[in-house]
């Protein structure tokens, strides 16, 4: 397919496709509808100031400034050395995309059609890249294309922030391709403001003996929609998705993970955990496909929900399709309110009911957070979850929302590395 | 220490305790025996303020003050401890972290971690607990015996004024019963604790020396005595009291 034709089709699809046909979306449609970008004002000074605070905040957490900074769908900082930006309107952008060429999903079509930024990450060796994805008053999606060379090891941390602007919309499309014996860990931490909406997709294919691990923490935003499709394609490869949802105040989450065992001796695992309160709702589905010929492969789906109150709602849907007999597969799904007996037990040990609830919910979630390999991210995620559970509204510390020129300095250095100019930057 | 007056308790509109009276003074060792469904566990839970129970009449006093309506954690802070017959398993809540939180909450101070861990090690060794148990989630995957020992470990660390032990012998083999009984004796004696042991059988009591024995039937105390009452129950069973 020619690129121009592809782009046109993507844009038409994004405009014409019904967003979702499922009944579930009747609940969500009032909250959000994908629409054309509302503006292209990445020079919004207010957003830039808040994003600057996020940069400082992340610098403290991660022990250094983010390697890549995205603001309103635009790349404004890049010191990584392994990330380069491709013009979405170029043939190169089209040829680099291996997995998103069909537009069966409206968000994929939307991202393909309207991205201003396509990031390419090519890693060989051992690397960690921290990405700040800051959403403001535009709806411009970003695409991140990862290619892990043979024997490489990449930890890609994506931090979703929004602050200040009303209903921010953040869209990110990740594509991960791993060559043999490589490892990619993608950790996505959603800590947007309560009004924000986020859409994200991950499609990943693991090569021979390689592994892809997704760890996503949903601790912010008003509505978050996530689509994961992970294919254990290479012999002896593995894919894993851990989705951890924390709904505090009427948030809605729509999470779907699709796992595929395509080859022999492959491993696929999806773990979904949700703690919901304050009228939050979550729809979480895992679908595992074990293809014919995927002998001696394993697939597992575990879904768990914990409800703090009657106003919250959860749908957990495990689904498996197995076309090979020589495999091991399991799925389980359960949701319940916090057990009164559990609470009573902890309270008889002098722990207050609020603290007992917190302990139970934290224990429930942190078991899965522990699977994150990156220690900084693991600690940040644990603290974020604790803060949310005790009712703290997530926002940057006051002293981080400074208005100095620090971020501009970062950008300048980044652009010097890239040989870029500051003309169209903040 | 503990005074229960004419206690009436119901659950789901069914009367379970029907005018129960009991007095336990500091350092005394009481045993409550009775057939299944007589209200033993309900009494223990009612004392600790279990939310599923409704106290329709009577009072429970600790050191002369009513504890009715107090939240469970406050009752625990007054020095009451309940060893559960079937302790719950809670995923992800580390046993040691839970112990430390509990002690810090009850004592309202931050513990020295090194001293705390030494105490945990000493008591768990005395109870002949598997070393791996303390590193797991709360009661998760513990055997019946390990659960009971974990409860007694908590009793030792929390050091309550009154420990209510609900069937501390169930699920234990003969050797473990002896170990648990000896530890309960030693902990209670060392700290001058009051004990209320709830049990069906006299197995564990052969390693302990209770001073007061109460028989409960149909939600009220129907017979009181000393060690001779245990021997009588061993021979005759509860039948005569159930008819009463």
Task: Tell me the average pLDDT across A280-293.
Answer: 93
Please indicate whether residue A14 or residue A269 has the higher confidence score (pLDDT): A269
User: Do residues A140 and A115 make contact, with C-beta atoms less than 8 angstroms apart?
Assistant: yes
- Residue B7 placed within a domain: yes
| Residues in chain A closer than 8 A to B73 (CB atoms) | 347-348, 350-353, 356
Quote the CA–CA distance of A118 and A85 in Å, as a whole number.
Answer: 6
Return all residues near B73 (Cβ < 8 A) that are at least 6 apart.
A347, A348, A350, A351, A352, A353, A356, B105
State which H helix or E strand residue A83 sits in: strand A83-86
Question: Are A203 and A99 spatial neighbours (Cβ–Cβ below 8 Å)?
Answer: yes
B207 touches chain A (CB under 8 A): no
Tokens of A74: 């635009």
pLDDT at A147 over 50: yes
Which chain B residue's Cα is nearest to A342?
Answer: B88
Collect all residues with Cβ–Cβ distance below 8 Å to B40 and sequence separation of at least 6: B32, B33, B34, B166, B198, B216
The pLDDT of residue A419 is 37
* A416-425, B24-33, B41-50: range with lowest mean pLDDT: A416-425
Residue A37 is predicted with a pLDDT of 45
Shortest CA gap A350–chain B (Å): 4
Within a 10 A sphere around the Cβ of A393, how many other Cβ atoms?
A: 11
Range picked from A109-118, A222-231, A319-328 for highest mean pLDDT: A319-328
Please, which pLDDT band fits residue B46 given cuts at 50, 70 and 90? very high
| Packing angle, helices A3-16 and A106-114, rounded to 10 | 130
Q: Give the integer Cα–Cα distance in Å for B174 and A53.
A: 64
**Could you tell me the pLDDT band of residue B151, with boundaries at 50, 70 and 90?**
very high
Q: Residue B74's closest chain A neighbor by CA?
A: A350
Instruction: For residue B72, list chain A residues with Cβ-Cβ distance below 8 A.
Output: 344, 347-348, 353
Q: Is the pLDDT score of A424 beyond 60?
A: no
The pLDDT of residue B78: 95
Distance from C-alpha of A57 to C-alpha of A382, rounded to nearest angstrom: 16
Mean of pLDDT values over A234-258 = 93
Q: Do the Cβ atoms of B88 and A349 come within 8 Å?
A: no
Instruction: Quote the CA–CA distance of A374 and A371 in Å, as a whole number.
Output: 9
Q: Which residues of A touch B108 (CB under 8 A)?
A: none
Strand partners, A381: none
Q: What is the mean pLDDT of residues B2-13?
A: 92
Between A225 and A374, the more confident residue is: A374
Residue B187 located in a structural domain: no
Backbone angles phi, psi at A200, to 5 degrees: -145, 150
d(CA A331, CA A269): 10
d(CA B144, CA B156): 19
Q: Percent of chain B having pLDDT more than 70? A: 99
Residue B225: inside a domain, yes or no? Answer: yes
Is residue B40 helix, strand or coil? helix
Whether pLDDT at A94 is above 90: no
CATH number at residue B14: 3.40.50.300
Q: Number of A to B CB contacts under 8 A, please give it.
A: 81
Global pTM value: 0.81
Strand ranges for A191-312 from DSSP E: 197-206, 211-218, 223-232, 238-247, 252-261, 267-276, 281-290, 297-307
Question: Which of A335, A350, A364, A386 is best to mutate for the B interface (most B CBs within 10 A)?
Answer: A350
Interface of A with B (CB under 8 A): 339-342, 344-353, 355-356, 359-360, 362-367
C-beta of residue A282 within 8 angstroms of C-beta of residue A296: no
Mutation site for A-interface testing, chosen from B45, B72, B139 by largest number of A Cβ within 10 Å:
B72
Q: Given this model, what pLDDT does residue A38 score?
A: 47
Residue A24 pLDDT grade (very low, low, confident, very high; cuts 50, 70, 90): very low
> Do the Cβ atoms of B73 and A359 come within 8 Å?
no
How do residues A346-379 score in pLDDT, each as one tens digit?
Answer: 999 999 998 999 889 988 998 899 899 999 999 9
Q: Could you tell me if the ipTM is greater than 0.90? A: yes
So where are chain A's domains?
A: 3-418
Distance in angstroms (rounded) separating the CA atoms of residues B31 and B194: 11
The answer to whether residue B224 is domain-embedded is yes
Which residue bears the tokens 């580390």? B94
- Average pLDDT of chain A, as a whole number: 80
Q: Do B101 and A355 touch (CB under 8 A)?
A: yes
Q: Give yes or no for B10 touching A (CB within 8 A).
A: no
Residues of B with Cβ-Cβ distance to A359 under 8 angstroms: 90, 93, 98, 101
In this structure, is residue B47 part of a structural domain? Answer: yes
Q: What is the pLDDT of residues B164-213, one digit of tens each?
A: 999 988 888 888 888 888 888 888 888 889 999 998 877 888 888 888 99
Task: Kindly state whether residue B178 falls inside one of the protein's structural domains.
Answer: yes
Is the CB of B201 inside 8 Å of chain A's CB atoms?
no
> Is A349 close to B90, i.e. CB distance below 8 A?
no
Q: How many domains does one find in chain B?
A: 1
Partner-chain residue, chosen from A339, A345, A363, that has the shortest CB–CB distance to B92: A363
Tracing tokens 């990110």 back to the chain, one arrives at A172
Residues of A within 8 A of B159 (CB-CB) are: none
Question: A418 pLDDT exceeds 50?
Answer: no
pLDDT-derived band at A103, boundaries 50, 70, 90: low
Instruction: Collapse the DSSP code of A251 into the 3-class scheme (helix H, G, I; strand E, B; otherwise coil) and give the result.
Output: coil
B109 touches chain A (CB under 8 A): no
Question: What mean pLDDT comes out for the span B15-33?
Answer: 92
Q: Give the best residue of B92, B147, B151, B154 to mutate against chain A (max A CB count within 10 A).
A: B92
Which domain, by its residues, includes B221? 2-182+192-243
Question: Which of A340, A359, A360 is facing B52, going by the closest CB pair?
Answer: A340
Helices (H), chain B: 40-47, 72-77, 95-107, 113-126, 144-158, 174-191, 227-236, 239-243
Rg (CA), chain A: 21
Contacts of A353 in chain B (CB under 8 A): 71-73
Task: List the structure tokens of A395.
Answer: 């926002």
């Amino acid at each position: 397919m020619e690129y121009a034709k592809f782009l046109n089709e993507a844009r038409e699809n994004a405009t014409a496709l019904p967003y979702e046909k499922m009944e579930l979306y009747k609940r969500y449609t009032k909250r959000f509808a994908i629409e054309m970008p509302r503006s292209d004002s990445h020079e919004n000074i207010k957003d830039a100031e808040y994003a600057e605070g996020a940069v400082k905040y992340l610098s403290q957490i991660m022990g250094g400034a983010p390697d890549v900074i995205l603001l309103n769908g635009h790349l404004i900082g890049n010191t990584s050395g392994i990330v380069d930006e491709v013009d979405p309107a170029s043939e190169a952008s089209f040829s680099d995309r291996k997995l998103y060429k069909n537009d069966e999903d409206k968000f994929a079509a939307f991202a393909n059609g309207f991205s201003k930024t396509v990031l390419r990450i090519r890693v060989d060796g051992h690397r960690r890249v921290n990405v700040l994805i800051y959403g403001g008053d535009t709806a411009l999606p970003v695409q991140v294309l990862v290619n892990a060379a043979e024997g490489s090891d990449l930890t890609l941390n994506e931090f979703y922030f929004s602050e200040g602007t009303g209903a921010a919309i953040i869209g990110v499309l990740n594509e991960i391709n791993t060559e043999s014996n490589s490892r990619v860990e993608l950790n996505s931490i959603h800590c947007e403001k309560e009004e924000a909406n986020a859409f994200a997709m991950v499609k990943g294919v693991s090569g021979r003996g390689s592994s892809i691990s997704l760890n996503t923490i949903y601790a912010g935003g008003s509505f978050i929609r996530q689509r994961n499709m992970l294919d254990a394609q290479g012999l002896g490869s593995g894919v894993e998705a851990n989705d951890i949802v924390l709904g505090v105040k009427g948030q809605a989450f729509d999470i779907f993970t699709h796992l595929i065992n395509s080859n022999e001796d492959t491993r696929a695992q999806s773990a979904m955990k949700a703690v919901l309160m304050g009228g939050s709702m979550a729809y979480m589905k895992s679908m595992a496909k074990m293809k014919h010929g995927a002998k001696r492969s394993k697939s597992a789906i575990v879904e768990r929900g914990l409800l703090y109150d009657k106003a919250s709602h959860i749908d957990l849907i495990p689904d498996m399709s197995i076309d090979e007999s020589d495999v091991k597969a399991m799925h389980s799904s359960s949701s319940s309110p916090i057990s009164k007996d559990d609470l009573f037990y902890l309270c008889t040990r002098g722990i207050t009911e609020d603290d007992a609830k917190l302990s139970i919910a934290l224990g429930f979630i942190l078991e899965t957070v522990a699977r994150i390999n990156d220690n900084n991210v693991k600690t940040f995620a644990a603290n974020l979850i604790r803060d949310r559970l005790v009712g703290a509204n997530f926002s940057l510390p006051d002293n981080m929302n400074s208005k100095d020129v620090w971020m501009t300095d970062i950008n300048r250095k980044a652009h010097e590395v890239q040989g870029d100019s500051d003309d169209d930057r903040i | 220490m503990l005074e229960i007056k004419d206690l009436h308790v119901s659950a789901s509109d069914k009367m379970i305790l029907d005018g129960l009276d009991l007095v336990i003074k500091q350092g005394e060792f009481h045993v409550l025996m009775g057939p299944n469904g007589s209200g033993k566990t309900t009494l223990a839970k009612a004392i600790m303020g279990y939310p599923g129970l409704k106290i329709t009449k009577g009072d429970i006093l600790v050191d002369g003050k009513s504890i009715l309506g107090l939240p469970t954690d406050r009752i625990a802070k007054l020095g009451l401890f309940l060893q559960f017959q079937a302790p719950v398993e809670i995923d992800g809540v580390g046993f040691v972290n839970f112990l430390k939180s509990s002690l810090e909450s009850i004592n309202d101070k931050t513990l020295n971690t090194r001293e705390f861990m030494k105490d945990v090690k000493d008591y768990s060794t005395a109870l002949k607990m598997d070393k791996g148990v303390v590193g797991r989630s709360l009661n998760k995957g513990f055997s019946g015996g390990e659960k009971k020992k974990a409860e007694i470990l908590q009793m030792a660390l929390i050091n309550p004024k009154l420990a209510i032990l609900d069937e501390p012998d169930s699920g234990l083999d003969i050797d473990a019963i002896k170990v648990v009984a000896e530890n309960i004796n030693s902990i209670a004696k060392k700290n001058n604790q009051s004990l209320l042991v709830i049990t069906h059988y006299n197995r564990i009591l052969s390693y302990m020396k209770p001073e007061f024995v109460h028989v409960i039937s149909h939600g009220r105390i129907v017979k009181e005595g000393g060690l001779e009452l245990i021997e009588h129950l061993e021979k005759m069973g509860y039948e005569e009291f159930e008819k009463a």
